[in-house]
A and B are shown apart, each in its own frame.
Chain A
Amino acid sequence: MERDDGSVSSSYRITKKTILFGVVPFVVLGVMVIILAYSPGMLFQSSIKPLPQVSIEKVEFLDNSIVAFIRNTGPSEITIAQADVNDRIHPAAIEPGRTLSRLADARVTIPFIWNAGEPYVIGITTNDGTRFSKSVASAAPAPRPTVGQASTFALIGIYVGVIPVMMGLLWYPFIRRLSANKYNFFLSLTVGLLVFLGIDALLESNQIAAALAPAFNAQILIILIAILTFISLLYVSKKLVERASRQSKTDTEYESEIVSHSTPDSEHTIDIHSSRSSLGSSRQQLLIRPIAISMMISIGIGLHNFGEGLAIGAAVLLGEVALSSFLILGFTLHNTTEGLAIVAPMAKSKRIPITKLLIMGLIAGFPTIVGAWIGGFLYSPIATIIFLSIGAGAIFQVVYSVGSWMHHTTGGRGLMTNAAIISGFAAGMLIMYLTGLLI
């Protein structure tokens, strides 16, 4: 049959063959898997059992007990034998049961009268006698998802995320009035701020990832997510610009101070801010316009602030941070610069409606509240890592966009030869570092 088919239509036969050739390696692989997994002699079998691995992911302090959320992050099934507090054995119970399959989780409850503010080490011993432990810097009652607690977290989010970003937006009129060079200074200052935030997000997620079980490969996940976010945002924004540019092709041919345009999508008002030197239209097509950049900065910062909110909520939950006005003040100062980052790119554009500014501020600031809720009530290190990495990828994409936009506005001369830009960039990072010391 196959032979007959083949002799009749060559193109059809090739498709079939192609599929066949595509499948062959999988078949071989399948056979390999069966041989390795089910061979009675087990070709590669060590007499040494794989080492168990238990992650204590979260410790909660309840009224009369300490609850540890544990996960089997080792290569094989494990059985839990006992629990301890500060390396002293205590009666405990484990739900759903003492045997945990790979990556399964369980809840260990230890009746214990603990003292608020004191450090504790919670230990879990597996049936081969290996002990795993987690330190808690300071015992604090676990936040309960009550209205009161939720509004406390919301308030933290407002102070840490929304208010600072909104305050930063107040720089909008100031930046509008600056000369080109001074404006470049503030724009590169923004880039400096963003680079700092991006690095900060990567380092913070790396810190969480390093403490996590190796089974999650969390550290590589950070880089992966950041890169994927970066390239997909880059792709989306270029597509948007391309589409917008095709519609405004005639206008972009002209040399002008400011050429403004409206796309069907009102979010992306196009403001072409070209320099004195002439530019080819092909080059301009690839540039993203100021409001789009500002919107992307808002989104990037929003993601970052979501991660920050998660971290703050979790820190409160884990008793690592004593909530204080001073801490909140530190975050407020630190995050005010984020508002500046949003307004700087569009300062030289056509006047922006105040509602649009507010929306951008909310996009950047509001996720802090949501983050604090999730972090405080359902702490998950993996989720924190993922959101921080997405934020980092988004921020670096914004850095790239602002960078190429500035490159364009300065007429294609090297960015690194412009003193205002260099000093602005440096100042941006330093400001973030110094305000970060307050936290």
Chain B
Amino acid sequence: MRSNLLIALVGVAVSIAVVVTFSTGLNRGPLSAQDPSKRENFGGHSPGYPILGTTGDVLDPTSLNIDPKTAVIDPMKYLREFNYGRTTALSNGTSLREYTLIASDQQTKEVSPGVFYNVWTFNGTIPGPTLRATEGDLVRITLINNGTKFHSIHFHGIHPSEMDGVFEGIAPGGKFTYEFTAEPFGVFPYHCHMQPLEEHITHGLYGVFIIDPKKPRADADEMVMVMNGYDTDFDAENNFYTVNGIPYYYMHHPIQIDKNRLIRIYLLNILEFDPINNFHLHANMFDLYRTGTKLIPDEYTDIVTMSQGERGILEFSYKYPGKYMFHAHKTEFAEKGWVGLFLVKDSTAESATENSNLTSIERNGSYSTTEFSNTGNGTTSFVKTGGLN
């Protein structure tokens, strides 16, 4: 009886060992059934790099589209969208601009193809909307806190202490209107200033505030670029780097610009954790106006390095048509998403139906350009009136 028990025990132990071994390790044969008809190519973006086939799923944030329904932002729309607020003329001749920002902290959105992250946002996107006013305007920004934590807006620029968004937090469900005169002209970040600051910033509570000089800058194809990152595994290191919220987005959706047309980029670095970030333009040089507070360029260069919170205005135009890269010249950031393309078109050579000629550039061999935004073609799409809500 006792021996039978022991034999049974040993038998069980041996069979467990066998099952564990064969179910986990040694079965390195073909994996579970695959559909051989479903065969896709992947890889091969760089010259000399192999293109392989697979019957499984392709994991390629460098060329795959992100679902617009779940994406944290539409970078193409964001690029040239400026919000001038609800504008009314006051009796003293000053323009009053009113904006509404809604803070939330409970949504989970796609920040890179297939990667979902708890984003904290102003008006549902990272970066938040670009606010724009003219020097001397009276601005009123109403913050509605739709989140579960205290939030605030801290604007860079000149304003009174109680409008600085640091010492007064807005409680969940609360509301507050920041009011100040827009000054001086330049490019400014705005961001939540609640503690822990790092947490509130890295989750996405930031955006760009542009104050135009009273005498407008020269006409140009204007765009905003915010350099940021996402630390999706909370180890105080960024897993993704982007310009305008989605890694690699402008690689598969190149920004269309016209040959010889003046391009003006309002550039902000809000990147958390890494001490610096930078912007490098290929095959060209740009005039750099640091902080955008002067009308005379500080530098003529093809690379600008910024610490967190630093920003500037970049002006350039392309002499030759074609595809040109722009990316962080901190190569690590470029290889984790902060890279994009300009597609320079010769508008004089092309007719008004130019858009139809832009077919996708060879699939599987290069970045596909399947979806072009029609906000391009050199016309800045200003949102001139109306509030944000």
- Judged by a CB distance under 8 angstroms, whether A330 is at the interface is no
Q: How far is the CA of A337 from the CA of B10 in the complex (A)?
A: 31
Residues 220-234 of chain A, each 1 if its beta carbon lies under 8 Å from chain B, else 0: 010011001001100
- Are B24's CB and A91's CB within 8 A? no
Contacts of A127 in B (CB 8 A): 114-116
Q: Which stretch in A33-41, A76-84, A173-181 binds the other chain? A: A76-84
- Asked if A225 and B56 sit within 8 Å, CB to CB, the answer is no
User: Quick check: is B92 within 8 A (CB to CB) of the other chain?
Assistant: no
Instruction: Write out the residue numbers on chain A whose beta carbons fall within 8 Å of the beta carbon of B60.
Output: 82, 91-92
Report Cα–Cα, A390/B13, bound state, in Å: 11
| Cα–Cα distance between A80 and B112 once the two chains are bound (Å) | 12
> Interface extent on A, as a size class?
35 or more
B154: Cβ under 8 A from any A Cβ: no
B59 x A95 contact (CB < 8 A): no
Q: Which of B226-241 contact A (CB under 8 A)?
A: 230, 232-233, 239
B28 at the interface (CB under 8 A from A): yes
Cβ of B83 within 8 Å of any chain A Cβ, yes or no, is: no
- Choose from B21, B40, B43 the contact partner of A386 (Cβ within 8 Å): B21
Shortest Cβ gap from B1 to chain A (Å): 14
Are B239 and A88 closer than 8 Å at their CB atoms? Answer: no
| Of A108-116, A253-261, A420-428, the one touching chain B | A108-116
Complex contact A383–B21 (CB within 8 A): yes
Is A91 touching B62 in the complex (CB atoms < 8 A)?
yes
* CB-defined contacts of A228 to chain B, threshold 8 Å: 9-10, 13
Asked whether, in the complex, the Cβ of B24 is within 8 Å of the Cβ of A216, the reply is yes
Known: A91-B58, A92-B60, A93-B52. A129 touches B230 (CB 8 A): yes
A107 at the B interface (CB under 8 A): yes
Contact partner of B42 among A89, A93, A98, A105, CB < 8 A?
A93
Q: How far is the CB of A301 from chain B (nearest CB, A)?
A: 20
Q: Given known contacts A65-B52, A94-B57, A128-B117, is B247 in contact with A378 (CB within 8 Å)?
A: no
Comparing B190-198, B260-268, B282-290, B330-338, the segment that makes contact with chain A is B330-338
Contact A65 B50 (CB under 8 A): yes
- Residue from B40, B49, B63, B117 within 8 A of A113 (CB atoms): B49
Chain A contact surface mostly: mixed
Query: Which one of B31-39, B201-209, B297-305 is at the interface?
Result: B31-39
Give A92's nearest chain B residue, CB to CB.
Answer: B59
B-contact 0/1 string along A294-323, CB 8 Å cutoff:
000000000000000000000000000000
User: CA of A390 to CA of B18 in the docked complex: distance in angstroms?
Assistant: 12
* Interface contact A129-B233, CB-CB below 8 Å: yes
Contact B233 A131 (CB under 8 A): yes
Interface pair B239/A131, CB less than 8 Å apart:
yes
B358 contacts partner chain A, Cβ-Cβ < 8 Å: no
Q: In whole Å, how far is B234's beta carbon from the nearest beta carbon of chain A?
A: 9
Q: A65-B52, A111-B43 are in contact. Are A129 and B28 (CB under 8 A)?
A: no
Contact call B49/A111, Cβ cutoff below 8 A: yes
Tell whether, in the assembled complex, residue B115 and residue A95 are in contact, meaning their CB atoms are under 8 Å apart.
no
- Tell me whether A97 and B332 are in contact (CB under 8 A): no
Residue among A69, A92, A381 with the most chain B CB within 10 A?
Answer: A92
Question: Is A130 in contact with B57, judged by CB distance below 8 angstroms?
Answer: no
B45 and A91 within 8 A (CB): yes
Total contacts A-B at CB 8 Å? 163
Alpha-carbon separation in the docked complex, A129 to B59 (Å): 14
How far does the alpha carbon of A111 sit from the alpha carbon of B43 in the complex, in Å? 6
Task: Mark out the residues of chain A between 241 and 272 whose CB falls within 8 Å of any chain B CB in the assembled complex.
Answer: none
Q: Chain B contact residues (Cβ within 8 angstroms of A): what range?
A: 35 or more
Is B184 an interface position by the 8 A CB rule?
no
In the complex, what residues of B have CB within 8 A of residue A239's CB? Answer: 3
Query: In the assembled complex, which residues on chain B have CB atoms less than 8 Å from the CB atom of A57?
Result: 25
Contacting residues, chain A, for B59 (C-beta < 8 A): 80-83, 91-94, 98, 108
B32 touches A232 (CB 8 A): no
Task: Indicate if B370 sits at the interface (CB-CB under 8 A).
Answer: no
B51 interface residue per 8 A CB criterion: yes
Contact status A113-B48, CB under 8 Å? yes
Evaluate contact between B10 and A97: CB separation under 8 angstroms.
no
Say yes or no: B21 contacts A382, CB within 8 Å.
yes
Of all chain B residues, the one with the shortest Cβ separation from A63 is B50
B6 in the interface (beta carbon within 8 A): yes
The answer to whether the Cβ of A400 comes within 8 Å of any Cβ in the partner chain is: no
* Pair A380/B112 contact, Cβ less than 8 Å: no
Q: How far is the CB of B101 from chain A (nearest CB, A)?
A: 25
Are B239 and A382 in touch, CB under 8 angstroms?
no
Does B378 have its Cβ within 8 Å of any Cβ on chain A? no
Q: Are B115 and A81 in contact (CB under 8 A)?
A: yes
Of the candidates A71, A81, A92, A104, the one whose C-beta lies within 8 Å of that of B113 is A81
B116→A128 contact, CB < 8 A: yes
Kindly state whether residue B20 has any CB partner on chain A within 8 Å.
Answer: yes
User: CB of A64 within 8 A of chain B?
Assistant: yes
Q: Does B44 contact A (CB under 8 A)?
A: yes
A125 beta carbon closer than 8 Å to chain B = yes
Given the known A-B contacts A111-B43, A232-B6, are A89 and B57 also in contact in the complex, defined by CB atoms under 8 Å? no
The answer to whether A382 touches B20, judged by C-beta atoms less than 8 angstroms apart, is yes
Q: Is the CB of A125 within 8 A of B21?
A: no
Residue of B nearest to A105 (CB): B31
Interface residue from A83, A113, A225 paired with B13 (Cβ < 8 Å): A225
Contacts of B58 in A (CB 8 A): 91-93
A228 to B45 Cα, complex, angstroms: 54
CB of A88 within 8 A of CB of B335, answer: yes
Most buried by B among A92, A129, A224, A383: A129
Pull 24 A–B residue pairs with CB atoms less than 8 Å apart, ordered by A: A65-B50, A69-B28, A80-B59, A80-B114, A82-B113, A83-B59, A89-B61, A91-B59, A93-B52, A96-B31, A96-B34, A111-B43, A111-B44, A113-B49, A128-B115, A130-B232, A130-B233, A131-B239, A221-B20, A228-B9, A228-B10, A239-B3, A374-B26, A379-B25
* Residues of chain B at the chain A interface (Cβ within 8 Å): 3, 6, 9-10, 13, 17, 20-21, 24-26, 28, 31-34, 40, 42-45, 48-52, 54-63, 111-117, 230, 232-233, 239, 247, 332, 335-337
Sorted nearest first, the 7 A-B pairs with minimum C-beta distance are: A129-B232, A380-B25, A95-B56, A111-B43, A81-B114, A93-B54, A64-B50
Residue positions of A touching B, CB distance < 8 A: 57, 64-65, 69, 71, 79-83, 87-98, 103-109, 111, 113, 125, 127-131, 216, 221, 224-225, 228, 231-232, 235, 239, 374, 378-383, 386, 390
